[in-house]
Structure 1
Amino acid sequence: MHNADYLELDGRLAFVESRPGDRPSVLCLHTAGQSGVQYRHVAAGLAELGFGVVVPDLPGHGRSEPAPGGPISDLSWYTDWCVRLITALGLERPYVLGCSIGGSIALDIATKMSSALSGVVALDPSGVLGSDGRPPPPPALEDSGSPSMRDRTYYGTVEACGRSVPPERVELIAQMHCREDWHITVSDIHGALTHDIRDALAGITCPVRILAGEDDFFVPPSRVRRIADLVPHAAFELMPGIGHYPMEEIPDFAERFERWVKDFEGVAP
């Protein structure tokens, strides 16, 4: 049975969708500025394969109330929030699946509670390595610099999708992404640019698979490969013809996820 409800966490209401299953639950984490709606097709597919599924909207995103202090620009804050969510829901050794900032948060969760996870699948993680150059300026919105935030999101999403994705699917993904709150998005992006957990990755003991879309406009596959190289036992995979949003671009994503975690099952961290 599909359940969608609000859970009070840190004094604020978080919107969480869940589906029961006989296999471990999959905690699905969305991208910057977006919400759990990115997993609307994947969640049903995973449930049909027997996985439990948990899809939260991070604070300030989608239908969740904002964090007490306003927009978050620290991905590790989201990580700690997710750890509290896992505890509050009583999830037993879940998988953590995340894309972009969600992939970075998934890896961050693994640095804190590997023994409590069945494994991590990180898609095009956008943080982890910190800033490669000068630290980025604090997040800010300037109308003169970005007269149309909607167009910036729309065209950026179109360019970030892979060449194998049909145009009508790209159009739908881009339209759905335009429903974001840019005050949240710019803070999330700042969080990705400053997120640095390189020194903690070697301590991850649960199974990890890190994937990169070959056509990702936002996060170069070479950067994702650098992240995978820092997790001693991580499996890395390049996805031809796929961009920055694999769970939205790939029709049979749930089946692929099942194959990706096949080697995870029965492995004790």
Structure 2
Amino acid sequence: MNIEPIVGRYVSVDVQGQTYRVYFEEAGEGQPVLCFHTAGADSRQWRHLMNDAQVTANHRLIAVDMPWHGKSLPPEGWETQEYLLTTEFYIEVVQALCAALNLSQPIFAGCSMGGRIALQLALHHAASFKGFIAIEASDFQPAWYDIDWFHRPDAHGGEMGAALVSANIAPQGPAVERWNTQWMFMQSGPGVFRGDLSFYTQDDSLVGRLGEIDTAQTPVHIMVGEYDMTCTPDDARRTAEAIDGATLAIMPGIGHFPMSENPAAFRPFFLEALDKMA
């Protein structure tokens, strides 16, 4: 019998006048690391790192399903709402979780939309965190696709989402994990991927504001896969160069979902990132 060390729990948080039952998984002890998934996915993207004894020996990894994602239900009355994620809501969810879990100076690690919010937190709430690991993150990414394709009556949104993300997964990764990564998007709730992409491609831009981030107070490390066509290495490099003191890692043979699509190749880069937060 091989029982994994990951433990899942629920916590209720109040955000913008509504109560959300949020699911999170954790593994390890020591420095807390809040781990946030990409658009349209959930905390399963982090499972390989959470099962890695070297990673969890000195770090308590906490992987969260954002509201509307994975095992976190949407709020009461969701059937009458249009889900459109905003920067303000996202930040308030993170703050509410930190308070509910009594986290002091966690490291924040996020990928894609989680990487974008890492930069927003570094700009507006750096004092509450020990450091930021912004994966596949840039100041702003305009859509090269029509986000409305992911919530239409004549198309399966989950399968459309998987088709989109398949173009951002590097071919070098193991086939089983490439397909597992796409499976998460196929399971996404109706309109959720579209609502996340609204945040990622239309909400608050950081263009012209990255110079306000103070890495002397809180370190910022940006990571990008060389096969990422959504947040390209050039996008990540441009972003890192605009933040005085930020560091950058370009990961060969990896796409937009590194911790999920090719965990073995991503592992040394993540360990290096944790070291930079020390």
Structure 1 pair 186–256 and aligned structure 2 pair: CA distance change class (3 A): same
Which residue does 2:140 correspond to in 1? 129
Residue 160 in structure 1 maps to residue 185 in structure 2:
no
The answer as to whether partners of 1:27 and 1:53 remain within 8 angstroms in 2 is yes
Which residue does 1:115 correspond to in 2? 127
TM-score normalized with structure 1 length = 0.86
The answer as to whether partners of 2:107 and 2:129 remain within 8 angstroms in 1 is yes
Paired with 2:271 and 2:108, the residues of 1 have a C-alpha distance of 13
Paired with 1:170 and 1:76, the residues of 2 have a C-alpha distance of 32
Structure 2, unpaired ranges of 5+ = none
Which residue does 2:105 correspond to in 1? 93
Which residue does 1:36 correspond to in 2? 43
Q: Which amino acid aligns with 1:26?
A: V
The answer as to whether partners of 2:108 and 2:132 remain within 8 angstroms in 1 is yes
Which residue does 1:4 correspond to in 2? 8
Q: Which amino acid aligns with 2:181?
A: I
Residue 201 in structure 1 maps to residue 205 in structure 2:
no
Equivalent residues, number:
259
Which residue does 1:176 correspond to in 2? 184
The answer as to whether partners of 2:159 and 2:185 remain within 8 angstroms in 1 is no
Percent of aligned pairs with the same amino acid:
25
Which residue does 1:246 correspond to in 2? 258
The answer as to whether partners of 2:84 and 2:195 remain within 8 angstroms in 1 is yes
Paired with 1:131 and 1:170, the residues of 2 have a C-alpha distance of 25
2:275 pairs, out of 257, 262, 268, with 262
CA RMSD of aligned residues (A): 2.5
1:58 pairs, out of 61, 66, 88, with 66
Paired with 2:253 and 2:65, the residues of 1 have a C-alpha distance of 28
Deviations 1:197-239 (A, max 9, x none): 3344323231111111111132222222222222111111211
Counterpart secondary structure, 1:54: strand
Structure 1, unpaired ranges of 5+ = none
The answer as to whether partners of 1:20 and 1:53 remain within 8 angstroms in 2 is yes
Paired with 1:138 and 1:153, the residues of 2 have a C-alpha distance of 11
TM-score normalized with structure 2 length = 0.83
